[in-house]
């Protein structure tokens, strides 16, 4: 089992910045990829950014150049630095950790979510 606890959400004006953190506990040695997803009201949950255990990153096109995902494996923590925030970034942000059991079986763990609200 893996437990994830997010922090760092809040209310910010457009153009501002926020940094989200997600601390993992439990069987952290089994975690491969970690990432951030978001879900706005009435919309599906979408990938924002992901980072592999080796540090390879991937971003949604809507956040490229504004958001940066990073990972501290020693602290079992993943971060999302969000700059130049826009009102359309408003959503609940969820931390994700993926554990590979075998090549064809992967488990996803989720945090409780943290609200990010960007005012115009």
Which pLDDT tens digit goes with each residue over 10-65?
999 999 999 999 999 998 888 999 999 999 999 999 999 999 999 999 999 999 99
- Sign for the pseudo-dihedral over CA of 101, 107, 113, 116: positive
Residue 117 contacts residue 12 (beta carbons within 8 Å): yes
Is the pLDDT score of 89 beyond 90?
yes
Return d(Cα 73, Cα 94) in angstroms, integer. 19
pLDDT at 117: 98
**Is pLDDT of 102 > 90?**
no
Bridge partners (DSSP) listed for residue 83: none
Q: How many CB atoms lie within 10 A of CB 1?
A: 9
How far is 46 from 41, CA to CA, in rounded Å? 12
The whole-number pLDDT of residue 90 equals 98
Tokens 């990153």, residue? 57
């Amino acid at each position: 089992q893996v437990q994830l606890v997010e922090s760092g959400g809040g209310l910010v004006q457009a153009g501002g910045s926020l940094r989200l953190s997600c601390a993992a506990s439990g069987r952290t040695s089994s975690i491969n990829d970690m990432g951030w997803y978001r879900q706005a009201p009435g919309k599906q949950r979408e990938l924002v950014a992901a980072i592999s255990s080796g540090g390879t990153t991937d971003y949604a096109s809507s956040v490229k150049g504004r958001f940066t995902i990073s990972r501290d494996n020693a602290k079992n923590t993943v971060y999302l630095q969000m700059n130049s925030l826009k009102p359309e970034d408003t959503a609940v942000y969820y931390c994700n950790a993926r554990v590979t059991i075998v090549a064809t079986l992967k488990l996803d763990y989720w945090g409780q979510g943290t609200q990010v609200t960007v005012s115009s």
